Amino acid sequence: MVTSEQQLLSVSLPSTILMTDVIKEFNTSFADFVSMKEYINFLSIQDPAYTTNPGFQQLDSISVWSRTGRIVFTANKYMELVQAYKPDLYVALCDGDTNINSSAKRVSKAVLRSKTLLEQCLNIHLHSDTLKSKGILGSVEGGYNLETREESIDYLKDKPLAGFVIDGLHNNGPSVQNISTEQIKQVVQHTINLLPTDKIRVSMGCWNPVTVLDLVELGVDVFDSSYPYIITEQSQALTFMCNHDICQNDQYRISVAEERYKDDFSPICKKCNCLACQNHTRAYLHHLHHTKEMLGLVLLMIHNTHHYLQFFIAIRDSIKNGTFNQLQKKIRLKYISVNSEFPPLQQSNCISVK
């Protein structure tokens, strides 16, 4: 209902952990179990759409929260699950429980713990026939401390990894969309400059589109789609890619809860070809919201995911065409009209994007 193009299927432990026993019993992969084997599976540890509970990491284990509560993973327990899921790409167990306020002692422990866990995961990975064709990613930790990040990279860069996750900048959840590039730029740029150029670089979290463009410019290759989910949960529809002359959408998103959409029988975006915009109106979405019908969130999620995927198509096309800076300026202007915290546009060249 969203796209016919292949995308990475992002799978997180908290949202799928309760399926583990059934997957093992049927002796199948996660992709086969959910009938999505045509997609490349990417397994992450935490769900970037939800705030990670801080302070529960231990010397040799990581905590995640499912619907049934806290679950503690050692490297052995985690790799047992990985071998059951058989993802194409997965993140080695790590301690990413740091942010801009974390102390030097805390980020140092995160790096040490992540080293220990990666060593254990990698050892099992290299000796597993099930995982010999799969890719394992290492997480670069260290919070906002550049020296500690260097220590983490020095350990990771020569390991047989498929790529790296630039981790430890936040604790996931909706608040990540409010983090500006200026806050993270020095750390991300320093990190990427030290990483091998022939391996993928991933950044998880619901970054707003302006920050996504800046991270692409810095060299990040892969992002997740938690941002459209967060916007959907707020009963809002993304419009930052809309053409103002056609849609009169001068903001980056609209709230279907607002009274002004009660009698608005136009789609969210007149040029959007998603299922929601092709078949339904703002007035109908407004009605669904106020009657608390689940269909309202379903339609918003279809639109927002489609809109976000179109954003990345535009990014890739602009890189090929040499028009990335124009796209960056266009999106920034849409956001800056209602968000004064975004800094002025800085002109430079983009280097890569997934």
121 annotated among ligand-binding-site residues: no
Residue 244 pLDDT: 59
Angle between helices 226-233 and 294-321 (to 10 degrees): 140
Residue 345 pLDDT: 36
Spatial separation of the C-alpha atoms in residues 231 and 227, rounded to whole Å: 6
CATH number for the domain harbouring residue 165: 3.20.20.105
In-domain check, residue 224: no
How many domains, in total, are found in the chain? 2
In-domain check, residue 2: no
In-domain check, residue 15: yes
For 303, the token pair is 């639109």
- Asked if 14 and 155 sit in the same domain, the reply is yes
Residue 333 pLDDT: 87
> What's the number of CA atoms in the CB half-sphere (13 Å) around residue 21?
1
- Asked if 200 and 239 sit in the same domain, the reply is no
Q: Which of 174, 207, 175, 173 is nearest to 188 (CA)?
A: 207
Domain, as residue range, for 244: 233-336
- Asked if 68 and 196 sit in the same domain, the reply is yes
Residue 2 pLDDT: 78
- Asked if 190 and 260 sit in the same domain, the reply is no
Task: Tell me how far the alpha carbon of residue 348 is from its chain's centroid.
Answer: 24
Angle at the Cα of 217 from the Cα atoms of 315 and 182, rounded to 5 degrees? 120
Residue 337 pLDDT: 57
Strand, helix or coil at 8? strand
- Asked if 195 and 251 sit in the same domain, the reply is no
- Asked if 156 and 120 sit in the same domain, the reply is yes
Amino acid (one-letter) located at 173: G
- Asked if 200 and 313 sit in the same domain, the reply is no
Spatial separation of the C-alpha atoms in residues 100 and 188, rounded to whole Å: 13
- Asked if 118 and 202 sit in the same domain, the reply is yes
- Asked if 97 and 198 sit in the same domain, the reply is yes
In-domain check, residue 146: yes
In-domain check, residue 350: no
In-domain check, residue 3: no
247 annotated among ligand-binding-site residues: no
Residue 55 pLDDT: 87
In-domain check, residue 349: no
- Asked if 48 and 145 sit in the same domain, the reply is yes
Residues 40 and 9: beta-carbon distance below 8 Å: yes
- Asked if 191 and 264 sit in the same domain, the reply is no
Residue 347 pLDDT: 33
Residue 243 pLDDT: 74
For 146, the token pair is 């550049």
Residue that finishes a domain, picked among 159, 187, 206: 206
Spatial separation of the C-alpha atoms in residues 175 and 49, rounded to whole Å: 10
Residue 336 pLDDT: 76
For 77, the token pair is 């327990």
Q: Is 145 exposed, middle or buried (0-12, 13-18, 19+ CB in 10 A)?
A: buried
Residue 65, φ and ψ in degrees, nearest 5: -120, 120
- Asked if 27 and 151 sit in the same domain, the reply is yes
Residue 237, φ and ψ in degrees, nearest 5: -115, 135
For 178, the token pair is 């409010």
Spatial separation of the C-alpha atoms in residues 161 and 186, rounded to whole Å: 24
350 annotated among ligand-binding-site residues: no
Residue 245 pLDDT: 63
H or E, element range at 89: strand 89-91
Per-position pLDDT tens, the chain of length 354: 677 788 889 999 999 999 999 999 999 999 999 999 889 999 999 999 999 999 888 889 999 999 999 999 999 999 999 999 999 999 999 999 999 999 999 999 999 999 999 999 999 999 999 999 999 999 999 999 999 999 999 999 999 999 999 999 999 999 999 999 999 999 999 999 999 999 999 999 999 999 999 999 999 999 999 999 999 999 999 999 987 566 667 789 999 999 999 999 999 998 899 999 999 999 999 999 999 999 999 999 999 999 999 999 999 999 999 999 999 999 998 887 554 444 433 333 333 344
